[in-house]
Structure 1
């Protein structure tokens, strides 16, 4: 990776880190803010915390495809990213100084819309930048997300206890401001190409024209020669063959135009893409579902405070630093087997959590160990699927060049990824909370184990062994 690509990749990961960092930063202080800032009665705090979580996910779900489509049709992906970060700054302001539940809801809506832009556009920009190393790039995205989720709640809780409510948001303003400044100086790969001369390409073209037997005199326009050559070819070719070629060309162009007008339908007709989106939904649902119940479970069973619970999240997120390896494997061998293995390996981990039932050292160690194993296996499940989205688009382009037009559909595709992730974030906590309250912790663990098994089955039957890239030969492309 050259220096420019590394810089752009780092800035995108910083944008994703900023979004996740702010999301996690306010988690430990939001219940207090509702009471002290918005005047919500104590018996209504849990209700409004749940509402605000749902509002965020709903805004993310609705805003993601819009942000993705806009990113594909705009001339630069830097500005949508900047707008997303400005929206995040507005959300920070509303949540810091808001004094009513309505302002808090608006702040969460802006935060969800910001996440929609940052994730949809950021992942699309990484695909533009990284080329064939998409899986590795998505591994670093997972690291950015893990670090943000790991550090933010701890920093938020400590700052709130030591310096007060507003100090938490001063930290957020500092991180967001730095990210906006760096985004302003970012130069995209396709923009920088416009400023870089390519003398080698020009000289090569001149050499070809000089050595070509059909080159024209210097005073004859090149277009005329081309037209004459094409005319001669068409007149010497058999009439049936020429007609067949023209019909095929017309059919291909008509097919391209038809698909350009409905890229969403084209993408959603791909079983391979739908399989990836389902796996992402399951992964998101499991992670966020456990976020909703794990702290309360540990507090009830072990009597732990918030600091001790933070250690559990360390056990989950630190092994996630292995994510770039999972991405490298998907780049080399394809998303199917690494993702399938990740989901299968997660099944016994989830089910074994049901054996944590007593307040003893052995059961505390067992819980931490199982969470660490889950933190190791889950990146192998989701990282390849994030890269698989770009592999699907490449395969469709190889089957039918130009099907998505000049600008492509990477923004839209990663908008669909965001929608799947958001939907999992809605289903997971609701499912987890309902099952734990009605049937207990043990029932939830095997429920989530079966959910992971369903994702493994979907990836196995509809995944693809190797990433597909555009080819110039007639080798069949695997089904998309």
Structure 2
């Protein structure tokens, strides 16, 4: 895909390197990742009981373990994946490898007739999905102007939600109508299409680079800014400037990356926002099905429709909230989102509490619960990409102050690995926290605890996150690289 002569361009270069096509590739990659995460759920009973002969009494426990291990693998592998991806000279190769790994994991799941093979397939699938997420967002940042990052992230979040919604639905429908192997074949075919799109994609950052000269700022600019980041090594930039091997530069930047990043209060706040956001989402998935079953007598169909009401608004509101973040920064959306979420979380728990007037009539209680879930589905879009955007803005600002501080390939993959790690942490913490609290103090009080957490995080976000002024460098960074 890379070429050395500016006179000869690959076939279809214009559309293959276009921003819309690159965004489409990343959107489909992340759609596939969330699609596969939930795709296994309707098939698990057949995998476990019919093919692996798991006793019926153990199926619920093994199902929980298989769903939890995905988030645990993301926690363990995120930082290593980010480190390796930032050392690669191309984003395309890590993306293809990530999807190939996901393909192997999915195939292993489908073929396994031993329980250890099912767990192995899920682990491999988790590594591939995590890598696709990290490298996908890094590619997105390389390919679009900073002022459009929020809109692009919001659009992609819509695809992510669509994948989460359609994965279990498609798997259940195909399993019922066509059988086991055709069902798995659809997932494998989606991965093949994804890999083909990745092969067609031409990275903008590569095709815009003149191979004969380093893609670094002038030496005079480096000397002027060399002391702006206390304690940061300048050797990484100097080694690139002197055409030393990239591996050495990457090694040097690795030693200082996390020290510099974690010294930023905005980074710590962004990670807290990301953990809290995914904790809330995981808590909904853990507690809502059981609550509506015992409180309202709802089965799988109305419960599934309830989750459509929770996830569906992202398709509409995601790009709009992304536009809002592009205009005002992350502080206002995060603050508004978390402070608005608090009363909604309380109402979610209070919908069927008899001491409140709306709960005395069952139909009124049900309507209150449904309306609250849908409203939460809209509000959470204000929070969905706050961590990712804030981390990106911080890295852009540090790179602008001291060019090359994170090595010749930048630090975006490592940055998004932190975002992925924090999100995965919430996916693990959410079920444990909400499940334990619901059992010990009840669903209503559990939601009150989550509401208090939401108010606390909203206050912290207002205090430390960047506002409109933090976007200035973010919007200008790499402008010349991205423009045709």
For the aligned pair, the TM-score class normalised by the smaller chain equals: 0.7 to 0.9
Deviations 1:169-209 (A, max 9, x none): 12211211111111111111022225899xxxxxxxxxxxx
Q: Which of structures 1 and 2 has the bigger CA Rg?
A: 1
Deviations 1:385-440 (A, max 9, x none): 32111111112223333322321100000000000000000000111112222322
Aligned-pair distance for 1:372? Answer: 0.7
Alpha carbons of structure 1 residues 101 and 349: separation in structure 2 relative to 1, 3 Å: same
Aligned-pair distance for 1:8? Answer: 0.4
Q: 1:368 aligned to 2:370?
A: yes
Find 1:343's aligned residue among 322, 338, 346. 338
Deviation above 6 Å: which 4+ runs of structure 1? 245-250
After superposing the two structures, state which structure 1 stretch, 165-174 or 285-294, moved more: 165-174
Find 2:234's aligned residue among 257, 280, 284. 257
Alpha carbons of structure 1 residues 30 and 461: separation in structure 2 relative to 1, 3 Å: same
Provide the C-alpha distance between the structure 1 equivalents of 2:261 and 2:456, rounded to a whole number of angstroms: 22
Residue of structure 1 in register with 2:471 after alignment: 468
Residue of structure 2 in register with 1:85 after alignment: 99
In the alignment of these two chains, the number of paired residues is: 426
Residue of structure 2 in register with 1:148 after alignment: 163
- What 5-or-longer segments of structure 1 have no aligned partner? 198-229, 231-244, 474-480
Provide the C-alpha distance between the structure 1 equivalents of 2:196 and 2:403, rounded to a whole number of angstroms: 38
Aligned-pair distance for 1:32? Answer: 3.6
Provide the C-alpha distance between the structure 1 equivalents of 2:224 and 2:33, rounded to a whole number of angstroms: 48
Find 1:43's aligned residue among 57, 60, 67. 57
Alpha carbons of structure 1 residues 257 and 307: separation in structure 2 relative to 1, 3 Å: same
SS at match of 1:99: coil
Find 2:292's aligned residue among 295, 298, 305. 298
Residue of structure 2 in register with 1:309 after alignment: 303
Residue of structure 2 in register with 1:63 after alignment: 77
Aligned-pair distance for 1:454? Answer: 2.3
The answer (yes or no) to whether the contact 2:226–2:402 under 8 Å persists in 1 is no
The answer (yes or no) to whether the contact 2:108–2:118 under 8 Å persists in 1 is yes
Residue of structure 1 in register with 2:196 after alignment: 181
Provide the C-alpha distance between the structure 2 equivalents of 1:195 and 1:330, rounded to a whole number of angstroms: 33
State the TM-score, normalizing by the size of structure 1.
0.83
Q: 1:113 aligned to 2:127?
A: yes
The answer (yes or no) to whether the contact 1:280–1:385 under 8 Å persists in 2 is yes
**How do residues 284-433 of structure 1 correspond to structure 2 at under 5 angstroms?**
284-321=278-315, 322-357=317-352, 360-433=362-435
Find 1:123's aligned residue among 137, 142, 145. 137
Provide the C-alpha distance between the structure 2 equivalents of 1:100 and 1:121, rounded to a whole number of angstroms: 32
The answer (yes or no) to whether the contact 1:135–1:386 under 8 Å persists in 2 is no
Provide the C-alpha distance between the structure 2 equivalents of 1:399 and 1:105, rounded to a whole number of angstroms: 46
Aligned-pair distance for 1:161? Answer: 2.3
Alpha carbons of structure 1 residues 247 and 131: separation in structure 2 relative to 1, 3 Å: closer
Deviations 1:112-158 (A, max 9, x none): 11121111100111111112211111111211111011111211222
**How do residues 185-196 of structure 1 correspond to structure 2 at under 5 angstroms?**
185-194=200-209
The answer (yes or no) to whether the contact 2:135–2:413 under 8 Å persists in 1 is yes
For the aligned residues, what is the CA RMSD?
Answer: 2.6
Residue of structure 2 in register with 1:226 after alignment: none
SS at match of 2:202: coil
Aligned-pair distance for 1:441? Answer: 1.3
SS at match of 1:262: helix
Provide the C-alpha distance between the structure 1 equivalents of 2:138 and 2:421, rounded to a whole number of angstroms: 15
Find 1:23's aligned residue among 8, 21, 37. 37
Find 2:151's aligned residue among 136, 142, 152. 136
The answer (yes or no) to whether the contact 1:256–1:400 under 8 Å persists in 2 is no
Provide the C-alpha distance between the structure 1 equivalents of 2:152 and 2:222, rounded to a whole number of angstroms: 42
The answer (yes or no) to whether the contact 2:86–2:414 under 8 Å persists in 1 is yes
Provide the C-alpha distance between the structure 1 equivalents of 2:48 and 2:296, rounded to a whole number of angstroms: 28
Aligned-pair distance for 1:159? Answer: 1.8
SS at match of 2:405: coil
SS at match of 2:144: helix
The answer (yes or no) to whether the contact 1:281–1:424 under 8 Å persists in 2 is yes
The answer (yes or no) to whether the contact 1:276–1:385 under 8 Å persists in 2 is yes
The answer (yes or no) to whether the contact 1:343–1:456 under 8 Å persists in 2 is yes
Find 1:166's aligned residue among 181, 188, 211. 181
State the TM-score, normalizing by the size of structure 2.
0.83
After superposing the two structures, state which structure 1 stretch, 113-122 or 291-300, moved more: 291-300
Provide the C-alpha distance between the structure 2 equivalents of 1:31 and 1:268, rounded to a whole number of angstroms: 43
SS at match of 2:53: coil
Aligned-pair distance for 1:25? Answer: 1.2
Alpha carbons of structure 1 residues 250 and 374: separation in structure 2 relative to 1, 3 Å: closer
